Amino acid sequence: MRPAQSPVVRLIQNLVRKRDFYAGGLIIFFGLVMTLKGPGYRLGTLMHMGPGFLPTALGVILICLGIAIAGTGLAVPEGEDEDILPEHPEWFGWACILAGPLCFILFGSYFGLIPAIFTCVFVSAHGDRTATLKNSAVLATVVTVFGVGLFSYVLQVPMPLLTWRGL
Amino acid sequence: MIETALTDLWYGFGVALQPHNLMWCFIGVLVGNMVGVLPGMGPLATISILLPLTFGIKPVGAILMLAGVMYGAQYGGAICSILLNLPCHPPHAVTCLDGFPMTKQGRGGVALGLTVMASFVGASWGITEMIFLSPILVRVALQFGPAEICSLMLLGLLAGSTLARGSPIKGVAMTVLGLMLGIVGTDLETGAERFTFGMTHLDDGIELVALALGLFGVAEFMNSINQVVSINAKYTNVRLRDMRPSKSDVKQAIAPMFRGTLVGSLCALIPGTGPTIASFVAYATEKKISRHPEKFGTGLIEGVIAPEASTHSSVQGDFIPTMSLGIPGDAVMALLLGALMIQGIVPGPQLIKEHPDIFWGLVASFWIGNIMLVLLNVPLIGIWVKLLTIPYKYLYPSALFFVCIGVYAANNDMFQVGETVVIGILGYVLLRLGFHPAPILLGFVLGPRFEENFRRAMLISRGDIFVFVERPISAVFIGLCVLLIALQIYVRIRGAKPPIEIPTALEGAE
């Protein structure tokens, strides 16, 4: 049994190193979600299509495309950059960039525009490795002043400047 | 025919020269010119940020401004390539090859001056093409039934996703993903809620602005953070005097200028081949017909002029299918079409007739905008170059705030800011897995109309799926689709390599 198994094992080992394997996997996942959920919206007939028809069809297409992508990953020799993560993962930087808009949502919903802008810029600025507290604070202040002037006074975005809605 | 076109154009100038429209056009090209120079801020992100701010102004002004951003950015991109060897924007990547050597020889000013000239010629030709071709296309397209529209959209989607950068299969996968995202929300025909996962905020579908800014804003910031690009500002002292080309320079530049223009306008006619491909084809053509091809890359003026003229002619030409058929060729066009739809204007062949002010005003504003850009570029190059020295660490937090407030202002809904974050994460994952997210936007904008027409075609044909190949016009489109796929497979098997190596300093930008 063993010799028959080893090419398969080697194939799989070859596959999981490839970036395209994961790319195809992600696409297959999206396709599966649609194919499984689509029929729940009523398929209908070709003549009278229900809301579920197109999603299901697209889901099937996505699964096929996903298999094709993963398959070509197998056929192509290993490239230089097969890592999914970049050479130097910037976990902290990414977190800061994503935390910026979240701060905007949180502070914007509860305390108004000024704290929203300030925290958004201040937090996201820390994603850069050379950022200092002082630099970020200065940048955030400048952007806040400019942003309040432009969006609140000139463009009249309906958001209170400062408010207290409690937590 | 020429007479009616000229009357319409005259009317268009009347619209575009109204003071407020003129002002929006000016703001558009100015902002576009600026972001064209800034690395890491493409026209896509800029148009998405400005999009919500245009809800308050009239549709004509809004579209003039957003289109201005788009072609204004093309002028700015050339500056970056020639003076700094930074291919900030993909269409200008080839310009680096000969533009930067010219700068090193101290002829950067001349290169810029001639580029501005070539851009104007290229753009003018693209606009002329639009004036005469659009009405013809519209006359044909008005005869189309749902089946024809469907197959035409299919062709547009397929071309847009397979001819763009990167692997064609991945491109198609992104388009289908875009179609899927377009399905989220309430079904127009039956009122069924699809893929909302119980969130009432998603009933109206995913917001276009949130999608665009997630993919081209947040994901792009995540991609470029702490990726230090050292900017070599050694050669950026260009004075006005340096930009005036000598007579022999102009003589040398005229032929490549027209060849580039021709290449660009041909590329614009093939759906899906945007300015990036046009510029590469133009460069390759110049090299092929040149008597001394080995000198390319050492600072030949032909290598700068031809791609730039071709980029501009194709950028203007891209508007033809977008405005006359309602089928966008790339992501930026899809975004502009989305902007029209938000204003309540239905894109398609009836647009020119129902909203002549938008179409002819836009055409006229192209010329006005291009003249503004020529005038602006000359004195402003120095200021734009200074902008380049703003470090990225100050740029991206400010841009992130613009993203947040832009998405919020679209509907005054904080939930959509959250949407942007989620889409941003998805976009970055896709980028890392080797996908180019631009076709998502194409699928997203066309998706709902595709579904509507598909259903209608099926209803009319009583559920006969072969209607698409039985009707002659539709059969031609389907045939072209098949040809396109066959061609891709053929190229794949033959293992053709791109003719020119792309400089990849900022590949992900845009």
**What is the C-alpha radius of gyration for chain A, rounded to an integer number of angstroms?**
25
Cβ <8 Å between A55 and B194: yes
CB pairs under 8 A between A and B: 181
**Chain A hits for B418, Cβ within 8 Å:** 101-102, 105
Query: CA neighbours within 13 Å on the CB side: how many for B211?
Result: 25
Token reading at B322 = 């977008």
| Interior angle at CA B366, CA B360 and CA B372, nearest 5 | 140
Distance, CA of B268 to CA of B283 (rounded, Å): 16
B327-364 residue pLDDT tens: 887 888 888 888 888 888 888 888 888 888 888 999 89
Nearest CA in chain B to A82: B433
Nearest neighbour of B400 by CB, restricted to A23, A90, A100: A100
B:103-142 residues touching chain A, CB 8 A cutoff: none
Nearest neighbour of A124 by CB, restricted to B397, B418, B462: B397
Type of residue numbered B375: L
User: B479 and chain A: CB distance < 8 Å anywhere?
Assistant: no
> Any residues with CB less than 8 A from the CB of B227 and at least 6 apart, and which?
none
Angstrom CA distances, B497 to B222, B248, B273, B348, B493, stand at 30, 36, 17, 37, 11
Look up tokens 């309430």; give the residue: B186
H-helix or E-strand spanning residue B25: helix B19-37
Specify the 3-state DSSP secondary structure of B463: coil
User: B228 and chain A: CB distance < 8 Å anywhere?
Assistant: no
CB B231 within 8 A of CB B84: yes
Q: What confidence tier does B231 reach under pLDDT thresholds 50, 70, 90?
A: low
Q: Nearest C-alpha of chain B: how many angstroms from A6?
A: 28
Cβ <8 Å between B53 and A155: yes
Nearest CA in chain B to A127: B225
CB A163 within 8 A of CB A115: no
Nearest neighbour of B187 by CB, restricted to A51, A68, A104: A51
Query: CA neighbours within 13 Å on the CB side: how many for B347?
Result: 29
Q: Nearest C-alpha of chain B: how many angstroms from A94?
A: 6
Average pLDDT, chain B: 83
Query: CA neighbours within 13 Å on the CB side: how many for B200?
Result: 0
> Any residues with CB less than 8 A from the CB of A48 and at least 6 apart, and which?
B459, B463
Cβ <8 Å between A58 and B176: yes
* Helix, strand, coil percent values for chain B (each to nearest 5): 75, 0, 25
Whether the per-residue pLDDT at B159 is higher than 50: the answer is: yes
Distance, CA of B472 to CA of B489 (rounded, Å): 26
Whether the per-residue pLDDT at A37 is higher than 80: the answer is: yes
Cβ <8 Å between A34 and B225: no
Token reading at B226 = 């702490």
Distance, CA of B170 to CA of B429 (rounded, Å): 14
H-helix or E-strand spanning residue B418: helix B414-432
B:192-221 residues touching chain A, CB 8 A cutoff: 192, 194-195, 218, 221
Look up tokens 């491109």; give the residue: B171
Angstrom CA distances, B432 to A81, B213, B250, stand at 10, 18, 44
Query: CA neighbours within 13 Å on the CB side: how many for B315?
Result: 30
Whether the per-residue pLDDT at B87 is higher than 80: the answer is: no
Query: CA neighbours within 13 Å on the CB side: how many for B206?
Result: 31
Specify the 3-state DSSP secondary structure of A126: coil
Q: What confidence tier does B424 reach under pLDDT thresholds 50, 70, 90?
A: very high
B439-495 residue pLDDT tens: 898 889 888 888 888 888 888 888 778 888 888 888 888 998 888 888 888 877 776
pLDDT value of position B502: 46
Token reading at B468 = 């698409």
The phi, psi pair for B273, rounded to 5°, reads -90, 100
B264-281 residue pLDDT tens: 888 877 766 778 888 888
Nearest CA in chain A to B416: A105
Burial B213-224 (b: 16+ CB within 10 A, else e): bbbbbbbbbbbb
Distance, CA of B2 to CA of B67 (rounded, Å): 25
CB B82 within 8 A of CB B112: yes
Nearest neighbour of A104 by CB, restricted to B53, B412, B417: B417
B:346-375 residues touching chain A, CB 8 A cutoff: none
> Any residues with CB less than 8 A from the CB of A154 and at least 6 apart, and which?
none
Cβ <8 Å between B190 and A50: yes
Where is mean pLDDT largest: B117-121, B243-247, B250-254? B117-121
Cβ <8 Å between B397 and A100: yes
Angstrom CA distances, B463 to A60, B146, B190, B421, stand at 20, 13, 18, 41
Cβ <8 Å between A30 and B180: yes
Distance, CA of B496 to CA of B492 (rounded, Å): 7
Give me the percent of chain B exceeding a pLDDT of 70: 92
Average pLDDT, chain A: 83
Give the pLDDT mean for A147-151: 87
Distance, CA of A18 to CA of B196 (rounded, Å): 33
The phi, psi pair for B185, rounded to 5°, reads 120, -165
Whether the per-residue pLDDT at B503 is higher than 50: the answer is: no
Specify the 3-state DSSP secondary structure of A111: coil
Cβ <8 Å between A54 and B424: no
Q: What is the dihedral of CA B150, B156, B160, B161, to 10 degrees?
A: 30
Distance, CA of B339 to CA of B335 (rounded, Å): 6
User: B481 and chain A: CB distance < 8 Å anywhere?
Assistant: no
Cβ <8 Å between A100 and B172: no
Q: What is the dihedral of CA B323, B329, B335, B336, to 10 degrees?
A: -20
Angstrom CA distances, B408 to A5, B244, B301, B486, stand at 56, 46, 46, 44
Distance, CA of B442 to CA of B425 (rounded, Å): 19
Nearest CA in chain B to A151: B405
Cβ <8 Å between A97 and B396: yes
Q: What confidence tier does A81 reach under pLDDT thresholds 50, 70, 90?
A: low
Nearest neighbour of B176 by CB, restricted to A65, A86, A109: A65
Specify the 3-state DSSP secondary structure of B504: coil
Which range (A23-32, A88-97, A105-114, B76-85) has the least confidence?
Answer: B76-85
Report the greatest alpha carbon distance in chain A: 77
CB A97 within 8 A of CB B213: no
B37-67 residue pLDDT tens: 776 677 888 888 888 888 778 888 899 999 9
Nearest neighbour of A58 by CB, restricted to B179, B226, B433: B179
Cβ <8 Å between A55 and B396: no
Distance, CA of B399 to CA of B314 (rounded, Å): 29
Strand partners, B194: B185
Three-state SS for B153-203 is HHHHHHHHHHCCCCCHHHHHHHHHHHHHHHHCEECCCCCCEECCCCCHHHC
Q: Nearest C-alpha of chain B: how many angstroms from A7?
A: 25
Give the domain ranges of chain B: 2-494
Nearest neighbour of B183 by CB, restricted to A55, A86, A90: A55
**What is the C-alpha radius of gyration for chain B, rounded to an integer number of angstroms?**
22
Query: CA neighbours within 13 Å on the CB side: how many for A47?
Result: 5
Which range (A71-85, A100-114, B183-197, B308-322) has the least confidence?
Answer: A71-85
**Chain A hits for B434, Cβ within 8 Å:** 19-20, 23
Q: Nearest C-alpha of chain B: how many angstroms from A75?
A: 12
Cβ <8 Å between B225 and A27: no
Q: What is the dihedral of CA B423, B429, B433, B434, to 10 degrees?
A: 50
Distance, CA of B310 to CA of B274 (rounded, Å): 10
Cβ <8 Å between A101 and B221: no
